[in-house]
Structure 1
Amino acid sequence: METSTIARLTEVYRRYGFYLAKNKSKDGILVFTLKTGYFDNAEILRLSANIDTDSIFQEFTSAGYACTVRLATSPEKAEEELFQGFFSVEATRLRLFDDYKRFSSSLVAPYGPNARYEYIEAPYQINGKTGESNPPAEVLRRLNESGPILFLIEAAAGFGKTCTALEIVKLLSEDKSHLPLYAELSRNRQARIFRYILLDEIDRTFPLLNSSLVQTEIKNGRIATILDGFDELLRKNQETGEFENQEPMLETVSELLTGRAKVIITTRRTVLFDGDDFHNWLERHADSFEVVRIRIQEPKIGDWLTPERLEILKNSGLNMEAMANPVLLSYLRCIELSELIELAKHPEDIVDSYFEYMIERERQRQDLMMTIQAQGKILRAIAKDMMDRGYTAEHRDYIINFILSTQSKIVDDARMQYSTSERPTREEVANKLASHALLDRSSNEPSKIGFINEFALGNYVAENIVNEIDWLSDDLRFIEPAVRSYIPRTESSRSRLYDSLSESLPYLDTTAQIEISIELLRRLPENLMLGGADLITFEQIDIGSLGISNFQFNECIFKNCTLFGNGLSNVTFLNCKLYDCSVSGDLEVGSVYMLGGLSNPDLSAYFTNPTVDTSTSANPNAEVDAVMLQKFWPVGESYKFKPTRPIYKPIRAICHPSEKFTFAQLYSSFDRLKKRGILNEMTKSNLVTLNFELLTLAQDILSEIEK
């Protein structure tokens, strides 16, 4: 064996903690030793098949080593064998597969013993294009690629992030070439530093191995890292509203993304992955790793229900599109067919029937002598306390004490339903309620109690909002679940919740206000003005029927929508996609703009393109250019000096209309300053920044306005 090959082989063994105890390569023997606590091991390598190792075997055996003799292979094959042995690959795969089975069984357990779990293949986009298989398959197809890849799997709350992550774990546990490291980040919400959270997950998954060895194999591509619920660790600064710990988290991820590493992150659609800081981070690492962005959309009803079940519900007159909630669809998919047929006779009560079904099963499961109405009242009280105190999970003891101190009459009434010999104590009744099927009895955090899913949380939060006069809050942890839980309900119920939220809506950002209005009222809010909407899908919505002015739609999708010309004034569609849309009336010239994006059929003839002054020798509109440039200095800094930190802005932000300037004027200014070289547009992320080499030109424009 060549000297260079022996050196590479030695390096492989050293990486796995071995010490080269004896180098007799001239005699065709290498001996590596490894101390693992109580045991001493010796690996005797024969560099060729005819080497006699009896004496060296006896020498190390006498010294107390457990010896193994192997024929030396290539460094690559030796590394693979060491990986298989040290990581107990087969045992680890079996353990992970068992974890998957427990998880999938827990999802369908409330619906009876005959319910079966199956991964739902919802529609999705990959890097902006419609996907043709499913997210787990997209990930597995790329795991053998040579370079590092970051997979971002985004979905709204309750639409399959964890199911997708664990489906990848399952597929990898069946695969022979990769091993998954699955980290459920929600169990570490209180931890402060992401790097330590990651190390903790490594130690939990591979307790007997050095974390640096695990990280090496991540970078070698043998271990695929799955970080589920990345957004769970984000914390907002109370004063600025900005995510204060995002950059260290991203940098820790980038440190892993070398060699052949594959890191899969699941997260809610959050501003973190659409904001300036994230795109700036991507720009810095543009040549370091590839990013594959997968966005899971709402599942179609047909993805969940068999044709037979779908037909039964359609024949009942039910609006099936309103039923597109994963929890509700799971219920309709898993209950016995006879129960579904009976349910279809009263479609308007379908949501209430889900909760009645779950509560009634709880009466039987726990022998809980408490009416459906009484259990509902207690669950509603817990949700009210969460809203008042701002938590979504609390220690089990707290929940029990809360029930005993605030719901004592219901508890005592329940106790009286038992015979004297079998009557439980008040504490025993409260314990049963704390273990309710609609509350989260997480095995990862047994001391914490919360609602089992956001649909259940939202249902009881919404009931409290509707019943409370002038409810006021901007906490989306409660507003978003409440809205989603009411989407399947009747029009009058949705309108009642919207009216109850009316005092809170002005405190939410415009995108959230629009989404809530669409989900509850199936229309846009009245008189949208001086704002913008980002990344929203509008389907069969009238655009402009209630008036929109000085407004910008950014990277939105419009399907089967009607644009009302007389209701649109200074409205811009930036990088939007319009499918099967139409125009009603005439769009006033200079009022509606479409930049980038596409429309099918082509509606470009209806839109106005901003008139862009291409002059580079003079500045025809110094005031608007100054307003544009001011956006690139941190607030409070003098324009006479270079900004203390680079500010990156997306086009949609710097061209956002104001009371003073329309989008057309701002866009013309942006294009003019870009042509003069004062602003630079980054090709990969579409962010805009100052060109510091021409900083004096920018300062001249700003100085002219200050005179």
Structure 2
Amino acid sequence: MTSNKIEYIDKLFLSYNYQLAKQSNQTVRVYTLRYGMYHAAEFILFDKDYDISKIKKEYSELGFATDVRVLKNIDEIEEYLFQGFFIKTPLGNELKNRYKHFVNRQLQNLPEGSKYKYINSSFDLLLQDESKNIIENKFYDSDLEINLIDKINSLLSNINGAIFIIIEAPAGFGKTCTANEILNTFSPKECKQLPFFTELSRNREARVFKHILLNEIDEQFPNGIKQNIVIEQITKGRIPLIIDGFDELISKESNKEEVESMLTTIIELLKGDAKIIITSRKTAIFNSDEFLNSIYDSNNDFSLARFEIKEPKIENWLDNDRIEVINNAKFPVAQVANPVLLSYLRNISIDVLKNYVNETNDGALIDKYLDYLLKREQQRQNLKLDNEDQLRIFRKLVRFMTEYNITAESKDTIKDFIKDYNQKLLQNSLKQYIAEEKPSIEDLIETLSNHVFLDRKPNGDVGIINDFIFGYLIGENLILEKYQEHYENFEKIIPQDFATKAMESFKIQSKRKKENLWGIFNDEEFNYDIGFYFDLDYTFSKQPNREYKNLFVLDRELSDLNFIENCSFKSSAFSSIIFNNCQFDINLFFDTSFQNCSFYDCSIINQKTNKPYSDFALFTCTSNNDFVSNILNLFENQTDEKIKEKTSLSEKMVLNHFFQVDGIKPRARKFSYIKKSLSEYHDKEINKVIDSLKSKNYLHFKDDVGFITKEAIHYLNHSENK
């Protein structure tokens, strides 16, 4: 056995906290482990004929559990250690328990007898190999093709080397459910892998992602297993890393350095055979220069798969009979288009559903759902608090979370807060119990800390059960003026992502509540970016009605919007947007571009303009009518005297920008980079060439980022060799 191999095996055992015994030599290595009352000695023989009996007897008499192994190959030793410290321990069994706990959490808000079902949604996939060549770029229809979980598992099984899987989706589209379904597919005994699953939340202590990750390792693995062992096994692919809720650590207040640090921490792990999966809400972070630089400037070789979950259809949630009941009652479908509510409607009896849709008025379906939860809580936990008192307690708790910009906290802190800020209410509650059932104040607080509105996170912290309830409580605090009452500058303490949760929850509230919330966000001076206000106007009024400057709208569907009055757009961009039945007055747009957008049944108001093309610039856009061609015709004869085109822009000139500095390795580029690099050319000329490259499948665009394809690289290499 060579000295290098012996040294490697020594390091391997030492990393698992073994010590090298003095009896070790070039023929046998003796490693000892002392862990509490357990003492073990491992004998690794390099010569199967070596007589180990004397040394083995010596250690047995000292109380060591002994095991002798003849070395066949180093991989076998690595697998043996991993099996012993990870797979053949309670850690392996905890996977199924974690999934069962997750399912139980989903069912606790539903009627008794409900069944959990994972909703298969359609999805987009952009897959790049280790050299960042596009391997696959496809939309998958969940009704016709492979489902999301099977596709992810296929990549994990079939791709050699490290892979980074990003699963993006807006709130409520199933990110956490998807992460848990992936977890549930692992069987340590069969696949010899032990996933490390962490569900992130924002609390007062955790701010640096690397520290959070290391702390999660310490929390989930026994004391005898050091962080470096887990990290090493992650890079070897034996411990797939699943990070749910990556966006929880990203807020409007996050600075560039924090985001770069988070990305760097993950990419540093992407070596060897590492398998890392993260879920996140749809965010511009993954199209940012920081992300692209982290990916393309890394010295690590890894594949990159970006999944984007599309909005689940109501048909995915409800069977035909239930949909027919809703349609026959002419009930507004928009009022049930929320996963939390759809889960409830799927599991109530068909007769109850008929009563709900026939009897409820505007927004009352939400009230019935909350009434069901809170009344059931009174029965389930023998709670002597009516619905309003329960809501008061949790509105206060959410104000506390808002003040500290957190989404979870230790259970003890939650209990202390409930006790300190609800004394009178709790004392009145205790008076409602008969003597033999009366709990202590501490018991009552413990009961409330297990309320249906709360959810215990895997790390032990407690947070609000889901974004719908969180957003509802934030919105209620606002329209009841509770924030205004308790905070002098209330508009400065509500983080933008909290306000967004309220907006999302109130999409299916009554018209009165929608108008109240819209009025508060519209009239007060919140320090939110313009994207929030565009979403606000679209959600609650379906009409843009202010000046939007430096607006960036990304990857969504906008319907029945009229860009014709009381608004203007300056230095803005719409990327990968589907516009349905929208009207545009292009005179309201200034230095605004539309990148990779689709226009269905859209029209132009005011066909005459003296504006430059750059004010309403289309790049690789399509329409089902003459909308795009009409726009281009408006600017057909316009020229910009400031731009002097020395030569016409060629396809090769554009494609050459999609490479690293070495001119060999492909590199994704943002639209803004391409436009800046080609600033000497007219925007119309750039659009014409890029449109042609896209139609030839030489370029692919995801949101505002362009990727060069293998076909384009082949075209360039072929043309250069001529």
Conservation of the 8 A alpha-carbon contact between 1:566 and 1:588: no
The C-alpha deviation readout for 1:482-509, integer Å capped at 9, x for no partner, is: 2111111344442332123212477432
Instruction: Give the secondary structure class of the aligned counterpart of 1:122.
Output: coil
| Aligned residue identity for 2:40 | D
| Aligned residue identity for 2:211 | Y
Instruction: Give the secondary structure class of the aligned counterpart of 2:598.
Output: strand
1:256 CA displacement? 0.9
Q: How far apart in 1 are the matches of 2:510 and 2:434?
A: 42
Q: Select the residue among 183, 202, 214 that pairs with 2:230.
A: 214
| Aligned residue identity for 1:36 | R
> Could you tell me which residue of structure 2 aligns to residue 561 of structure 1?
581
Conservation of the 8 A alpha-carbon contact between 1:486 and 1:494: yes
Q: How far apart in 2 are the matches of 1:399 and 1:322?
A: 34
Q: Which range is displaced more, 419-428 or 71-80?
A: 419-428
Q: Select the residue among 597, 604, 609 that pairs with 2:628.
A: 604
> Could you tell me which residue of structure 2 aligns to residue 272 of structure 1?
285
> Could you tell me which residue of structure 2 aligns to residue 540 of structure 1?
559
Structure 1: stretches of 5+ with no match in the other structure = 618-647, 657-661, 672-681, 689-707
Structure 2: stretches of 5+ with no match in the other structure = 127-136, 485-489, 648-667, 689-698, 707-722
1:137 pairs with 2:146: no
1:230 pairs with 2:246: yes
| Aligned residue identity for 2:153 | L
Q: How far apart in 2 are the matches of 1:389 and 1:201?
A: 22
Q: Select the residue among 162, 174, 181 that pairs with 1:167.
A: 181
The C-alpha deviation readout for 1:579-612, integer Å capped at 9, x for no partner, is: 5343245644646321134445674312237857
Q: How far apart in 2 are the matches of 1:203 and 1:370?
A: 39
The C-alpha deviation readout for 1:178-199, integer Å capped at 9, x for no partner, is: 3211123327662344333322
In the TM superposition, 1:352-363 aligns within 5 A as 352-363=367-378
> Could you tell me which residue of structure 2 aligns to residue 186 of structure 1?
201
1:525 pairs with 2:530: no
> Could you tell me which residue of structure 1 aligns to residue 123 of structure 2?
124
In the TM superposition, 1:296-695 aligns within 5 A as 296-348=309-361, 349-384=364-399, 392-393=407-408, 395-405=413-423, 408=424, 410-411=425-426, 413-419=428-434, 422-423=437-438, 429=444, 432-442=447-457, 444-445=459-460, 448=462, 450-468=463-481, 472=491, 475-504=495-524, 507-521=527-541, 523-546=542-565, 547-550=567-570, 552-565=572-585, 568-570=588-590, 572-578=592-598, 580-585=600-605, 587-588=607-608, 590=613, 592-600=616-624, 603-608=627-632, 613=643, 615=645, 650-652=670-672
Conservation of the 8 A alpha-carbon contact between 2:270 and 2:300: no
Q: How far apart in 2 are the matches of 1:108 and 1:96?
A: 19
1:35 pairs with 2:33: yes
| Aligned residue identity for 1:596 | T
Identity level (%):
28
1:565 CA displacement? 4.3
> Could you tell me which residue of structure 2 aligns to residue 87 of structure 1?
86
The C-alpha deviation readout for 1:198-231, integer Å capped at 9, x for no partner, is: 2232233332223323222211212111122223
Structure-2 change in CA distance of 1:390 and 1:171 (3 Å): closer
Structure-2 change in CA distance of 1:379 and 1:653 (3 Å): farther
Q: How many residues are matched?
A: 628
Structure-2 change in CA distance of 1:611 and 1:153 (3 Å): farther
| Aligned residue identity for 2:504 | R
Structure-2 change in CA distance of 1:611 and 1:183 (3 Å): farther
1:654 CA displacement? 9.7
Q: How far apart in 1 are the matches of 2:209 and 2:173?
A: 25
| Aligned residue identity for 2:371 | E
Instruction: Give the secondary structure class of the aligned counterpart of 1:156.
Output: coil
The C-alpha deviation readout for 1:449-473, integer Å capped at 9, x for no partner, is: x432221122232223223399845
1:362 CA displacement? 1.0
Relative contact order, higher structure (CA 8 A, sep 6+): 2
> Could you tell me which residue of structure 1 aligns to residue 651 of structure 2?
none
The C-alpha deviation readout for 1:280-334, integer Å capped at 9, x for no partner, is: 2223127632322222233221222233333333333222244222221222223
Q: How far apart in 2 are the matches of 1:487 and 1:14?
A: 58
Q: How far apart in 1 are the matches of 2:389 and 2:59?
A: 73
1:54 CA displacement? 4.9
Q: How far apart in 2 are the matches of 1:683 and 1:130?
A: 13
Instruction: Give the secondary structure class of the aligned counterpart of 2:321.
Output: helix
1:402 CA displacement? 4.4
Q: How far apart in 1 are the matches of 2:192 and 2:102?
A: 24
Instruction: Give the secondary structure class of the aligned counterpart of 1:113.
Output: coil
Conservation of the 8 A alpha-carbon contact between 1:108 and 1:334: no
For the aligned residue pairs, the C-alpha RMSD in angstroms reads 4.1
Q: How far apart in 2 are the matches of 1:286 and 1:555?
A: 30
Q: Select the residue among 211, 214, 229 that pairs with 1:196.
A: 211
The C-alpha deviation readout for 1:58-113, integer Å capped at 9, x for no partner, is: 56656765433345433333433332223235743321111110121122023243
1:430 CA displacement? 5.3
Q: How far apart in 2 are the matches of 1:44 and 1:426?
A: 60
The C-alpha deviation readout for 1:326-381, integer Å capped at 9, x for no partner, is: 22122222334443343233343210011100100011012223332343344445
Q: How far apart in 2 are the matches of 1:533 and 1:11?
A: 52
Conservation of the 8 A alpha-carbon contact between 1:150 and 1:257: yes
Conservation of the 8 A alpha-carbon contact between 1:655 and 1:667: no
Q: Select the residue among 262, 268, 271 that pairs with 1:255.
A: 268
The C-alpha deviation readout for 1:99-144, integer Å capped at 9, x for no partner, is: 1101211220232431222222233322274235444333322224
